Amino acid sequence: MSAYLEFQDVQFQNATALVKALNDVGFVNVEVGEAISLVGYQGRQRDQTAQIVVRRQYIGAASNDLGFAWNGQAFVPIISEFDAGHRLNQEWLRKLQEVYAKHCVLQFFKESNARPLRSGQTEAGFVIEIEMEVAT
Amino acid sequence: MKVRITITPKGEVKVDVLDGIGDQCVKHVAAPLARLLGQPSHFEPKPDVEIDFEALAMIEGVEVQA
């Protein structure tokens, strides 16, 4: 049985942006609830619960459920030791954080009067230039 | 006000003001982004940009890089 690991240093505040980011990295089926029990690769329910869950069948043949649990301040990933060494590794987490950040920026656009001027990929990352009217 | 937002490959968000006042950039862009992200957004003031550092210090979630 692969132990679950909590990644407290990887935090997501915004559930909507997190679910969209998970969709973008290939997990279209995402469960959202209060305390969803995680299930291991043998179909056994584990002690860990999470608010946002990707079921193991969408991850890999020998995978365990992936969860994101609210720690009082943010959602933190709960990933099995097996999956953290395979598909859901550090590189995958980094990509998820990048896509999550893009969705937060998009949400910021929706909630503000910001007008995108241009955008594009650079060596420093994905760049968006905006114009805003602000009261002086 | 014109602002450049950079999303780094690590998922960090950096905010640069291109045309405008620094503390307004922090108030209207960097701070709201930090709240949405749940992590600090990084505001890098340029030497030729007017900065109200007292105002900056009052806004949570924004790391000012000297």
Q: Which residues of A touch B6 (CB under 8 A)?
A: 122, 124-128
Integer angstrom CA distances of residue B18 from A79, A94, A132, B32: 40, 28, 11, 18
Q: CB B13 to CB A13 under 8 A?
A: no
Q: Which residues of A touch B8 (CB under 8 A)?
A: 98, 124-125
Q: CB A112 to CB B28 under 8 A?
A: yes
In the prediction, which pLDDT does B49 show? 46
For residue B32, pLDDT beyond 90: no
| Assigned token pair, A18 | 């997190």
Most B CBs within 10 Å: which of A100, A102, A104, A131, as the mutation test of the B interface? A104
**Is the CB of A106 inside 8 Å of chain B's CB atoms?**
no
Percent of chain B with pLDDT over 90: 0
What is the value of pTM for the model shown?
A: 0.82
| Ranges of chain A whose pLDDT falls below 70 | 136
**How large is the ipTM?**
0.73
Task: Kindly report, residue by residue over A58-78, the tens digit of the pLDDT.
Answer: 999 899 999 999 999 899 999
Residue B33 · residue B15 · CB < 8 Å: yes
The C-alpha atoms of residue B14 and residue A62 are separated, in whole angstroms, by: 38
- Angle at which helix A90-111 crosses helix A15-24, to 10 degrees, equals 130
In the prediction, which pLDDT does B47 show? 46
Q: Which residues of A touch B29 (CB under 8 A)?
A: 108, 112, 114, 130, 132
A residues 21-50 closer than 8 Å to B (CB): none
